[in-house]
Amino acid sequence: MQPQANSSSQPEIKTVCGGGIQDVSKFPDAEYRGEKVYFCTRACLKAFLSSPDAFMAGEVEHPLDDDE
């Protein structure tokens, strides 16, 4: 049996937080060192913006609540 191709027109993209997304328009994003990165919630984006290098290095704890 052959593996089936992904029927979605968009490839899965990983968030900085490690989750997988397909519709990037529904998730917050920012630029980090010339590359667009995506976040699972606005709280994660806010934590990233306060200290981008530390967040990307895993030194900032992942926020548990979305910051609406």
Gap between the Cα atoms of 1 and 5, Å rounded: 12
Please check whether residue 29 is in contact with residue 13, taking contact to mean a CB–CB distance below 8 angstroms: no
Please check whether residue 42 is in contact with residue 66, taking contact to mean a CB–CB distance below 8 angstroms: yes
Q: Higher-confidence residue: 67 or 60?
A: 60
pTM of the model: 0.73
pLDDT tens for 25-60 read: 999 999 999 999 999 899 999 999 999 999 999 998
Gap between the Cα atoms of 42 and 28, Å rounded: 6
Strand residues in 1-68 grouped as ranges (E): 13-14, 20-21, 29-32, 35-38
**Average pLDDT rounded to a whole number, residues 7-17:** 72
